[in-house]
Chains A and B, each alone.
Chain A
């Protein structure tokens, strides 16, 4: 098989063009990269400079702040010192005043206390007297009341005791009477039972003895007697 030379040339041309394009692209890419790198270097440099400036600024700020603080401390110390001095003076003045006041007041209180004490002692004595009097009266009243209460209690106790004794006696009496009555009733019942039994026995024996012991004639006579008695008692009247 053979390839058309035209096509072959076309192919060669296409490849050639392509390679040219690729070369161009490669070259531009290289340049771009180079540029980028340079830019990058510049950026880094700038960044470094910025960082440096920042740190310088910070350092300056720190130094300044430190100074300001130091100055403020010094001033504060001065103020404090002056305040302390003022406090000490005031303190001393106050102390003196207080001392004076205390002395004055102490004297006054001492006097007042003495008066108060005297008055209090007088009042106390008077109160004591009154209380003693009251106590005496109260004691007397209590004594009287207690005596009366005891007397009343005695009489009530006596009455109650007597009453209770009476009640108990009555109760005992009642119980005794009841028991007596029950015993008597029981005794009567038993006697009655015994009597009934005896009568029954006598009756039965008599019946048996009599019944068998009567002759026919005696029986007949008893019947005629009964008829006569019945007639007398009105069981029948004579009718012709």
Chain B
């Protein structure tokens, strides 16, 4: 049997950005609310109605791994709450970019982060055209400005010092 953390990390790999995670979290909440209504519908129906295909697939996968019956709403509830707890543990890597990244670019960046930094990280991407290119990276309280704008500023400073020395 797979370790629970591993199960959840597999599930959470599909969550790449903060927006996706928030959306997923709110859908979980909706599902949880619907599970214990008086005239609760079957899980399959609920999943189809409330969640998208991807998210449904994730939930079903988790249920399959944990051998949870679709009629066992209590077990499903526990599963969903565990998933929510795991979501809370996710770490955020903030990126300031000079452009609006496409889904493909986001996926590529996420893949790099997964490969080079590890899992359990989601991206929080914000646009700032003034940086021209490159990125400002903020992660776990550390800040790095690796933008073209910064390079220009450093160049200005260097030039100014050079001019001073030449005078």
- Is B one of A's binding partners? yes
Interface size class of A (residues with CB under 8 A): 20 to 34
Q: Does A178 contact B (CB under 8 A)?
A: no
Q: Does A236 contact B (CB under 8 A)?
A: yes
Whether A236 pairs with B135 at a CB distance below 8 angstroms is no
Chain B 146-167 per-residue mask, 1 if CB under 8 angstroms from chain A, else 0: 1111001000100110010001
Chain B min CB distance to A203 (Å): 5
User: Do most interface residues of chain A lie in helix, strand or loop, or is the interface mixed?
Assistant: helix
Whether B149 pairs with A227 at a CB distance below 8 angstroms is no
A218 closest partner in B (C-beta) = B133
8 A Cβ contacts from B91-123 to A:
93, 95, 97-99, 101-102, 105, 108-109, 112-113, 116-120
How far apart are the CA atoms of A231 and B116 in the complex, in Å?
Answer: 8
Q: Does B144 contact A (CB under 8 A)?
A: yes
How far apart are the CA atoms of A237 and B121 in the complex, in Å?
Answer: 12
Whether B112 pairs with A227 at a CB distance below 8 angstroms is yes
User: Do most interface residues of chain B lie in helix, strand or loop, or is the interface mixed?
Assistant: mixed
Whether B102 pairs with A222 at a CB distance below 8 angstroms is no
Interfacial chain B residues near A229, Cβ < 8 Å: 144, 146
Q: Which of A192, A207, A236 contacts B117 (CB 8 A)?
A: A236
B106 closest partner in A (C-beta) = A220
Interfacial chain B residues near A74, Cβ < 8 Å: none
Interfacial chain B residues near A239, Cβ < 8 Å: 117-118, 120
Q: Contacts A211-B129, A226-B146 given: A219-B99 contact, CB under 8 Å?
A: yes
Whether A226 pairs with B129 at a CB distance below 8 angstroms is no
Chain B min CB distance to A185 (Å): 11
Whether A227 pairs with B135 at a CB distance below 8 angstroms is yes
Whether B133 pairs with A210 at a CB distance below 8 angstroms is yes
Q: Does B69 contact A (CB under 8 A)?
A: no
How far apart are the CA atoms of A238 and B102 in the complex, in Å?
Answer: 26
Interfacial chain A residues near B89, Cβ < 8 Å: none
Whether B156 pairs with A207 at a CB distance below 8 angstroms is no
Whether A223 pairs with B152 at a CB distance below 8 angstroms is no
B163 closest partner in A (C-beta) = A195
Q: Does A30 contact B (CB under 8 A)?
A: no
Interfacial chain A residues near B14, Cβ < 8 Å: none
Q: Does B54 contact A (CB under 8 A)?
A: no
How far apart are the CA atoms of A214 and B147 in the complex, in Å?
Answer: 13
Whether B156 pairs with A220 at a CB distance below 8 angstroms is no
Q: Contacts A191-B163, A227-B137 given: A210-B102 contact, CB under 8 Å?
A: no
Q: Which of A191, A222, A233 contacts B148 (CB 8 A)?
A: A222
Q: Which of B101, B119, B132, B137 contacts A226 (CB 8 A)?
A: B137
Q: Which of B93, B113, B160 contacts A192 (CB 8 A)?
A: B160
B167 closest partner in A (C-beta) = A188
How far apart are the CA atoms of A196 and B159 in the complex, in Å?
Answer: 10
Whether A206 pairs with B99 at a CB distance below 8 angstroms is no
Q: Does A216 contact B (CB under 8 A)?
A: yes
Interfacial chain A residues near B102, Cβ < 8 Å: 216
Q: Does A235 contact B (CB under 8 A)?
A: yes
Whether A219 pairs with B144 at a CB distance below 8 angstroms is no
Chain A 193-227 per-residue mask, 1 if CB under 8 angstroms from chain B, else 0: 00110010001001100110010101110111111
Interfacial chain A residues near B130, Cβ < 8 Å: 207
Lowest 6 A-B CB distances belong to which pairs? A239-B118, A226-B146, A226-B135, A230-B144, A222-B133, A222-B134
20 contacts between A and B (CB under 8 A): A195-B159, A196-B160, A199-B156, A199-B160, A211-B129, A214-B132, A220-B105, A222-B134, A222-B148, A223-B95, A223-B134, A224-B108, A226-B135, A226-B137, A235-B137, A235-B144, A236-B140, A237-B117, A239-B120, A240-B119
